Amino acid sequence: MRIDVEDLVLRYGDVTALDRLTLSLEGGKIYGLLGRNGSGKTSLLSVLAAFRKESAGTVRIDGQPVFENAGLTRRVSLIRDVGETIDIGTVEDALYFAEWLRPNWDAEYARTLLDTFGLTPKAKVKSMSKGQRSAMGVLVGLAGRAPLTMFDESYLGMDPPSRYAFYDALLADYMAHPRTIILSTHLIEEVSSLFEEVVIIDHGRLVVHEETQTLLSRGTAVTGPAEQVDTFTHGLTVLGAKQLGPTKSAMLYGDLDDARRRKAVEAGLELGPIAMQDLFIHLTGEPK
């Protein structure tokens, strides 16, 4: 499903959560949605899922307005950090309601995921641990196979083995059943390999929307003798640096042309990639 957002504003009283945000996402890709706490990630996803009405601007999915559009929202799934489950009944009850709400529901796949995440059909949802509720939420998101599926930090309560089981399941099912998936996360290094494109927002505004590899190509680690590193990086954007004895490593942001790369090699410097998390920290500034 294609998403088109233009001049989107969302206010909570006097607080502006989204500030004239404009963004277009093609269908059939996995997107990473990144931002600091309070940046507007949850607000954006809530508007896309029609949980909230925009204060101004337009939001369209496959060319249709979202809010109060029941035919469209049945094809949109937002799994929040508390999971998309109810506080009454059992796991079986929750799956029954999910199947009733989701036209693309795959009951057989849901049963497979119960085993994957170690969930018991007769267990009471209200008595579940946070990790179990998180697993229940991602199960509903995966088995629902909504053409637009969004996970808003919904897997944070899961332990590392369960999270990695989720990542594997998501990628495998996406390959078998392509759809538009948005992952909002703070676990950038853990999940970034899934992203085809990255969207970074800060203070309700768009900072970056690029293909993952394009964004990563803008960061370079330069390592070598401290004096040569300082000379090479003079005048460039340096994200940070570390030094151990005479050896220094500096993180650069920006494209390096072939001539500058040759100059690094001639100076005996080693060039390498830097992590997406370091780029994210630079692009969103220092913590407030």
What does the pLDDT profile of the chain (288 residues) look like in tens digits? 999 999 999 999 999 999 999 999 999 999 999 999 889 999 999 999 999 999 999 999 999 999 999 999 999 999 987 655 556 689 999 899 889 889 999 999 999 999 999 999 999 988 888 889 999 999 999 999 999 999 998 888 889 999 999 999 999 999 999 999 999 998 898 999 999 999 999 999 999 999 999 999 888 999 999 999 999 999 898 888 899 999 999 999 888 888 999 999 889 999 998 888 888 888 887 544
What is d(CA 190, CA 31) in angstroms, rounded to the nearest whole number?
Answer: 14
Q: SS3 of 279, please?
A: helix
What is d(CA 135, CA 165) in angstroms, rounded to the nearest whole number?
Answer: 10
- Residue 163's contacts (CB-CB under 8 Å, 6 or more residues apart) are 155, 187, 190
Instruction: Spell out the alpha helix ranges (H) of the chain.
Output: 41-48, 70-73, 91-101, 107-116, 130-144, 160-176, 188-191, 212-217, 226-233, 258-266, 276-283
What is d(CA 277, CA 107) in angstroms, rounded to the nearest whole number?
Answer: 37
CA atoms within 13 A on the CB side of 101: 18
Report the pLDDT value the prediction gives residue 85, as an integer from 0 to 100.
57
Phi, psi of 2 (to 5 degrees): -85, 140
* Cα-Cα-Cα-Cα dihedral sign, residues 92, 98, 100, 105: negative
What Rg value do the Cα atoms of the chain yield, rounded?
A: 22
For residue 256, give the DSSP letter: P
The C-alpha angle with vertex 37 and arms to 94 and 54, in degrees rounded to 5, equals 70
- Residue 251's contacts (CB-CB under 8 Å, 6 or more residues apart) are 219, 220, 221, 222, 238, 239, 240, 241, 274, 278
Cβ 95 vs Cβ 110: under 8 Å: yes
Q: Which CATH number fits domain 218-283: 3.30.70.240, 3.40.190.10, 1.10.150.130, 3.40.50.300?
A: 3.30.70.240
Give me the CATH topology for the region 3-211.
Rossmann fold (3.40.50)
CATH 3.30.70.240, the chain: domain bounds: 218-283
Whole-structure pTM over 0.85, yes or no? yes
CATH 3.40.50.300, the chain: domain bounds: 3-211
Closest C-alpha to 20, from 6, 41, 37, 38? 6
Q: SS3 of 275, please?
A: coil
The separation between the first and the last C-alpha atoms of the chain, rounded to the nearest angstrom, is: 35
The C-alpha angle with vertex 141 and arms to 135 and 146, in degrees rounded to 5, equals 175
What is d(CA 139, CA 109) in angstroms, rounded to the nearest whole number?
Answer: 9
